[in-house]
Amino acid sequence: MSKYINTNWDVVVAGGGPAGFFAAIRCAELNPKLSVLIVEKAVQTLGKVIISGGGRCNVTHACFEPAQLINFYPRGGVELRGAFTRFQPADTIKWFESRGVKLKTESDKRVFPVTDSSKTIADCLREAAQKAGVEVHGSTTLLNVDKNPKGGFKLEVKKEAQVFHLQTKKLVFATGSDSKTRELVKSLGHSLEEPVPSLFTFNVKDKRIDGLAGVAVENVTLKMDSVTTQGALLITHWGLSGPAVLKCSAWGARILFDKKYRSPLTVNWLGDYKLESTLEVLQRSKEWKESARRRINITPAFSQIPARLWKQLTEFTNNKNWGDISKSEMQKLAQGLTAGEFMIEGKGAFKEEFVTCGGVKLSEVDFKTMQSRVVDDLFFAGEVLDIDGITGGFNFQSSWTTGWLAGSAVGS
Ligand SMILES: Cc1cc2nc3c(=O)[nH]c(=O)nc-3n(C[C@H](O)[C@H](O)[C@H](O)COP(=O)(O)OP(=O)(O)OC[C@H]3O[C@@H](n4cnc5c(N)ncnc54)[C@H](O)[C@@H]3O)c2cc1C
């Protein structure tokens, strides 16, 4: 890779992540006459792709209905509705498969390369960029942007120790959640929603889950403030994780940030069961001859609650038999099963995927083209926008979609 960067460009893409690569490749393939440059601050491009999905890269999610797909985005769903009619997961799958990457869909609809290696995806993107004639410079940071009075931009970039002044007709910001670069975007006149983490686990210290790390419940309902989520739950050494928790952290990202990650959490260990229907099942255990003489804490009334968890949830019954349970104890048990009160006391890291919500205000962007409504010739793609999805391939999908749309607009 050359140490020098040419001065004049048709398109400069700031950020060599998935959104930047998609924008650059699309635009160069659409219009091979254009000179297209990616500047990437890190030594290596596509850093997050490489570490994504536990090293496997969950490329997208096999949900092909835009109206359904948008329900997986706590922020940005409404704006993505139209965008997904133009480029959606089926198009992502086609895009990679037409470039020789075989993909597979797992039972939970997450899509991965058959190699189970994120390197396959990164290699494909790098190769496609090279074939399309996109010039890529690593260790190159966009430091400053000035709007030219007659259109286009003057850029200051630093490659290693050297500073270059470039001219470009069009500029795409695909810089992810980088905090310094956010200031650059602001300096151009855009407003940004403040960044806060999304997709994290909950720290919960409670004797009912103590020592149960690794125990999973298939379907629980969680309530935190105004947020309700449902799905599998995993008990960890530090508290709670699993899809229900991650969804709760994503939909409740701003609420939890404001509460400094301390909040009551209500857990319905029985998913859809209500108090009344739970009481009916408990009453049957009390009356049924087979169980009446058995201890409550070692005779679970619900098969979906693992025995070790059941034992700790029913500890307060003090080795009583089902036949001896009082009305108030039964009420307390049903309450604890359907609306157990816990306390979130901090957030943990979800290493498989981590995203930030916040970014460029969506009302300031035209989602047909990803063009700024504030500054001419300026475009946005990916996580730099105030868009984030829950775990499952949705975050990459919004990067592919917005990158492709931005690339289509600058290339046409
Ligand atoms: C551990 C982890 C695992 C993940 N796994 C998944 C997954 O399996 N599936 C999924 O859908 N999502 C996953 N995600 C989320 C996903 O990685 C992001 O949503 C996605 O990478 C966003 O793409 P982007 O191109 O917008 O931003 P990024 O990937 O963050 O790329 C932006 C790039 O811009 C560069 N940059 C910033 N400022 C400048 C500047 N001034 N000049 C030059 N370059 C600059 C940055 O160095 C960066 O390389 C994961 C995230 C993490 C952290």
Could you give the CA distance from residue 167 to residue 174 in angstroms, rounded to a whole number? 18
Residue 281 Cβ contacting ligand 1 at under 6 Å: no
Instruction: Enumerate domains of the chain plus CATH numbers.
Output: 8-197+355-411 (3.50.50.60), 200-349 (no CATH)
Residue 1 has pLDDT above 70, yes or no: no
Residue 198 Cβ contacting ligand 1 at under 6 Å: no
Ligand 1 center–CA 48 separation, angstroms: 5
What are the angstrom distances between the C-alpha of 187 and each of 10, 16, 20, 172, 375?
Answer: 22, 21, 21, 15, 11
Ligand 1 center–CA 383 separation, angstroms: 7
Which residue type does 89 have?
A: P
Could you tell which of 93, 201, 353 is best to mutate to test the pocket of ligand 1, judged by most ligand atoms within 8 Å of the CB? Answer: 353
Residue 92 Cβ contacting ligand 1 at under 6 Å: no
**107-140 tens-digit pLDDT:** 999 999 999 999 999 999 999 999 999 999 999 9
Q: Which atom of ligand 1 is nearest to the CA of 388?
A: 19
Ligand 1 center–CA 202 separation, angstroms: 23
**22-78 tens-digit pLDDT:** 999 999 999 999 999 999 999 999 999 999 999 999 999 999 999 999 999 999 999
The whole model's pTM is what? 0.94
**Two tokens, residue 87:** 């480029």
**Two tokens, residue 272:** 């859809």
Residue 40 Cβ contacting ligand 1 at under 6 Å: yes
